[in-house]
Structures are given as structure tokens and as C-alpha cells.
Structure 1
Amino acid sequence: MKELHHSQLSEQELTMLERRLKTKLKPYPDKLKYDMPDHGFDFDPVSLLIDESERCLLVGRINGELATPRIMTIEDGELKQRPAFSEHCRGKLETAEGYATKKIVRLHPYEGKRYELIADIIDNDALELNIELRVSRRERTVMTYDTSTQQFIIDRTDSSLSTVEDFKRVITLHAPLTSLHCFVYEHTIEIFINDGEAVMSTYINTTDDADGIRASALRGQVYLKLSKYDLSEV
């Protein structure tokens, strides 16, 4: 268990967060103890804040860069984390839907290095679903869901992290996978699973030409509904 203290967040970072979220922020009045707020890599929790709507926000860094703030709630005795973001940061919207099958398909015109991707799993009769982000000929970061075990895996083996030995993280979900909400930046990926059940983040060191998104399924097919927004620098 670990405790957070707001003093670790700089004034410059606090101002940037307030501008991004369009709200005033102040230290959360109580200490919150938690266990494993992120099941991926590199996430360092920094501060608990409260906004003008009385929401509790967890702020952290991934390899030194500020992560997406997380709205923390307790629902039916379980910790939920959902992304706190403002729609003014969203740019062009692209949508698509269809089946992921055994053929690995690059999703066009879906591509980029800085975007928000929402994937709703409408129907799944496959043994395994794979979604690959920041894809080039040699690079990719892979999200895998095993339907039979309800295990969700993030794999950065091919994310150009040559000096890193820890490449995979696994979590067993409480319920079947229904949604993914991903925030992809130049050197970080954050994955919010099943409307806040879990979060998995990672630092990546992929090259600038790694901008593809791909999907596939093993032993069956998965019907996906996808929404992708470009993200501004604000």
C-alpha cells in the first residue's frame, strides 16, 4: 500500500493540468491508500487532486511525462479509474466498425502518433483478440485479450526498448472484455479497460514512422466499433 502527497506536483504542471481540464484543482483533503493503480509499466503516481466538480483525480507520470489524469471512484467496493479529459483537446474524429479475423488488417485511414482510440467489443466468438498500436514494418505495441481466461496482456517486445528486459504485463479481468479506451502519445500508451476496471500504461521508444493500427483475431472473429480522435498539444 502507498500514500500520495500533493507536494510532488510542480506549479507549472498544475497550471498545465488546469488549462487542459478547464477546471481549478486543489489537493485532495484526505490521504487515499490504494493497491496497484496501474497494471502496466512505468506509471509513477504523484498527486491526488480534487476539481471543481468534487471529483477525485489521480495524477502520475510515465517515464517522467505527465499521464492522463484519472477520475478515481469506489463502486460496489471496487476501485474504478476513468480518464479525465476535455473535449476541446479532441481533433478530427474517424469511425469504423467491422470484424477482426485471423487476417492481420491495418486499419485505414487510422494512423498517427498522438490520438485517442475507443474500441467497443460488440460481439466476440474468438479465442483471442489482438490490437496493435504504433505499428511500422519492424515495430508495434500489442494488446491481447484471451477470451477463455479473461486475461489481458500488453506486450512491448517490439516497441524499440532494447535496454529493457520487462516486456509483458498480464491482468485477469473480472468480466469479459467489452471496451478499451486508449491514449497514445509519442512515447506513452495508456489503456483504460472495461470502463475503469483496470488501467495498463507503458513507455515506448518507437520511431516516428510507427503510426499504424492493426487488428486481428484467433480462432473466430470479433466485431469492433472504433472511434479515433486526433489529440491536440493543449
Structure 2
Amino acid sequence: MEKMTREEKYRYIEQALPEELERLKEKVSKSPWRQKYHIQPQTGLLNDPNGFSYYNEAYHLFYQWFPFGPEHGMKYWFHTTSKDLAHWEEVGIAIKPGGPYDSHGAYSGSGIVKNNKLYLMYTGNTRDHSWVRHPFQCLAEMDKNGLITKFDKPVIFETPPGYTDHFRDPKVWKSDEEYFCVIGAQRDNKTGCIVLYQSKDLLQWNFRGEILTDLNEFGYMWECPDYFEMDDHGVLLFSPQGIEQENERYNNIYQSGYLIGKPLNMESRAFEHQPFQELDKGFDFYAQQTTETPDGRRILVGWMGLPDLEYPTDKEGWAHCLTLPRQINIKDDKLIQRPVSELALLRKKEKNINISVDNETKQLEDFYGTAYELICDIEDIKADRVGIEFRASNTEKTVLAYDSVSNKIILDRSLSGQPLGKKNGSIRRCSFDAQTFKIHMFVDVSSVEIFINDGEEVFTSRIFPSQNSKAIRFFAQKGTAKFKAVKWDY
């Protein structure tokens, strides 16, 4: 696919050629891999979730959007809203770039409610004549009618001394009567970190300094930070870039994960924490962001994709989607992620099976689909390997297996359909030792999100099978196992 020039990528939507967007929408509409129940872009590229918040009796979830193609260029904030975290409606463009402080893109940020308005803090991207980046932390406000107004001036003008212009993605929260904000940063020595700001009014921000962790040389940039506290723990999420692969760990081109420990000391900025853990063991997960629901749950959404990778939808004029919302809990110093209970609202036709499998692969004639939710309990495992093949046909399949000999979960998309960029590979493994094996799987037209044993491990992946690859098969190798499964069409 022919790449766009810089001039083509850094146009505003008003500079579209006559009927350009209409032609692109028509092209995208013919894509066989458009999702059925995930948030996806009308055209072009979707990336980071932004501004995730609850305001005016609805959830608001924005995302980074480049309308002209599946590349990173002039970024807008696109607005979606939901009453129930299951059904989402497109609102349209929320934040347009083009001012002196966001001339080359409205980059990622977050939302917070104050005085009956939703405030959106984001990084304004600018470039000078030499194409040198200059970031600003900007603010916009949305009223109850959905009208969004950008503030004339940034609320944080400067990158503090000691840090490069890779300085972005503000995440804001309130504690007592003070507002705090973490920003992803890169030190002058090209190592990644997160810095902390404090404010009384969201307008005047004081630089407090770097959050002090044990990871002084852990990649070259930390993106999309998020901090929250629950169950007497502090949790710091971020996406570090530049981490070398370590066996089963850090297999993706860029990582997303967290530090969990004692609550952050706001005075010293010291954060006592456990080792870094990845949020997702799959292929396509990045740039996570959380919010709190009115009933006190912590909900996470991620970008189901990664930068700098090619996807089969690129040639069709679009790329990427967002994950389903996940509820976060803490168990044994680990984040447990479960699909939010509201997703049950999407369930339609139900089908149940209860079978025994003996050194074979079983396919049931009326148990298949391309967009569904599946819960499968595998019990009485007396086999070397058990699992599920899905989106399968004579030539294609995606395979999730539990190997009881090596105590590993394996997700294999090497035969999933159209190949993806080779940088990320086609197999993921993680160590897992359990007597029972529960799979909770959300399959869409071109993706799968898999929750193992009620969220102890999660695998997120894009897959691009043909439309006639619909089969679901259950297998046990060198032994027996019992499969009890329920499937709901979506």
C-alpha cells in the first residue's frame, strides 16, 4: 500500500478533496472485517482511548482518530457515548486540532468532571519549520449539551528541564480538594518515566517532579500513564516502549502493564511497588485508560492494536478498534480483569453443550459463529493438551490450548487467516498451573478477547479469517477431558 506524504497526513478534515471522505467511507464499508460490537473508526485509523469518564448520566469514551487512512497523521478526538457500557453511539468529532498549541494534532489525554462540566486535558502536538516537536498540555470543557470549547492557552506550557519533547498523555484525578495529573515522559538520557503535577483548579498546575520507582532504565519512553488507588493499594498503569523480549514476557513490539504497591506518597513521590507486570498476554493491546463508575467499579479500555505494525485492513482504508470494557480488581498483588457484567445485554440466541472428548477434536454441527460470547469450563483434564479451535474451517483456525505437561496457555493465530505484520509473531504463551480451566471468550468478526479463569490472564488479539471460517471445535490430545460450554450470538 502506498504511504501518504507528510503533507497528506497533516491535513485538516476541512482540507479533504471533494468527495474524498465519501469515497473512503464506501471503501471501508466493503471491508469483510468490520466489527459487529466493538468501537471502530468510520474511516482511517483509531488509536488510544481518551477522556474515559462518566458525566451527565452517560459514559463518554473518546479515541484518537486520523480520518484519511490507516496511518498516524493529524489526530482528532472522536466521541462515543453509552448508557450501559455495552451499546455505544457515535457522537462525532470532539476536539479538532488546528490552534497554535495543537496545530499538528490533538494527542491523548483524559477527562474529569468539575462544576457540572466535563474537562478534557490533552497533549497538543505542534511542529516547527524544522519539524521539531513541541508539546503543550491543553484543556477543553464540555457542557451538558455536548458543546466542547477549547481554552485559548495551554495549562502546562513547558516541558520541565531534564526531559525531552516526548512528553504527553495527561491523566487527571482528584484527591480530597486537590487535582493531580501524571504525564508520560522521556528523560534527556532517553529513558522513560512518569512525572506528577498538582493543581487546585485544573488551570494552574505545579510541577511536583518524577514519580520515583525502581525502574530507572526501563525502556526509552513511557506512554499513557494512569494512577488510581483501590483496596489500600496504589496502581500505576503505563505503556513502556523499548523493552527487550524475555522468553514469554514482552513479546509485543511495545508493552502495556502496571506497577502495584503501597499508595503513592504525594509528598516524596516515592512509589514502593512489586515488579512490572503485563496487562495482557495477547498480540494487540496498548494505551489502556481507566475510569470509575458511579457504583465505584474501576473500568479499563485499551486500544486493540499497536503502533508501527501493519494490519490486513490497512488496504481497505481503516485500522484498529477498542477493547471491550473490563472491570479491574486486585488479587494477590495482581490485577484481575473481567468483562463488565453489562455486556450480558448484548446476548441473543443461547446454545449449550456438554461433551466428553477422548484424544480427538470434536466439532458440533450447530455450534458455530463469527460474532459471539462463549464460556467454556474444561474439567476432569486427563490429557496432555486441551483447548478450543475457533473461527475454523478446512484451512483456517485460531487455537487456544492449555498444555498440562508444561503448564502453559498457548494462543496460536498462525492459521487465523490473512497474515499480520511479522514483527509480533503468531504464538503467545504464558505459564499457568490450574486444576480447572475456564475460558470466557468474546469473538468478533476480526478479533478475540479471552479471559482465563475469571480474568487471571487475558489474551487480546486481532484475527482476520475468511467469512466462512465459523466452526468451533473442542480437543483433547493424549487423554480425555470434559467440556461444558454456553454460547450467545451477538
Q: How would you bin the TM-score normalised by the shorter chain?
A: 0.7 to 0.9
Computing the radius of gyration over CA atoms, which structure comes out larger, 1 or 2?
Answer: 2
Amino acid of the structure 1 residue aligned with 2:447: T
**Where does residue 321 of structure 2 map in the other structure?**
65
**Where does residue 297 of structure 2 map in the other structure?**
55
1:126/1:13 CA distance change after superposition, 3 Å: farther
Q: Of 368, 374, 382, which residue of structure 2 is paired with 1:111? A: 368
Provide the aligned length of Structure 1 versus Structure 2.
225
Please tell me whether residue 179 in structure 1 is matched to residue 438 in structure 2: yes
Q: Of 348, 356, 360, which residue of structure 2 is paired with 1:99? A: 356
Give structure 1 stretches of 5+ with no counterpart.
none
State how 1:40-51 maps to structure 2 within 5 Å: 40-51=282-293
TM-score by length of 1: 0.87
**Where does residue 455 of structure 2 map in the other structure?**
196
State how 1:1-234 maps to structure 2 within 5 Å: 6-7=50-51, 9-10=61-62, 14-16=80-82, 18-21=83-86, 29=173, 31=227, 32-33=235-236, 34=258, 35-63=277-305, 64-86=320-342, 87-165=344-422, 166-231=425-490
For residues 197 and 127 of structure 1, the distance between their equivalents in structure 2, rounded to whole angstroms, comes to 22
**Kept after mapping to 1: 8 A contact 2:49/2:302:** no
**Kept after mapping to 1: 8 A contact 2:379/2:436:** no
TM-score by length of 2: 0.43
Amino acid of the structure 1 residue aligned with 2:478: R
For residues 168 and 189 of structure 1, the distance between their equivalents in structure 2, rounded to whole angstroms, comes to 14
**Kept after mapping to 1: 8 A contact 2:49/2:322:** no
**Structure 1 vs Structure 2: percent identity of aligned residues?**
31
Compute the displacement of 1:98 (Å): 1.1
**Kept after mapping to 1: 8 A contact 2:374/2:442:** yes
Give structure 2 stretches of 5+ with no counterpart.
1-47, 53-60, 63-76, 88-110, 113-171, 174-225, 228-234, 237-257, 259-276, 306-319
Moved >6 Å (runs of 4+): none
Q: Give the aligned CA root-mean-square deviation in angstroms.
A: 2.3
Compute the displacement of 1:156 (Å): 0.3
Compute the displacement of 1:62 (Å): 1.3
For residues 55 and 127 of structure 1, the distance between their equivalents in structure 2, rounded to whole angstroms, comes to 39
Amino acid of the structure 1 residue aligned with 2:355: G
Compute the displacement of 1:161 (Å): 3.4
Bigger mean CA deviation after superposition, 121-130 or 219-228 = 121-130
Partner SS state of residue 414, structure 2: coil
Bigger mean CA deviation after superposition, 130-139 or 80-89 = 80-89
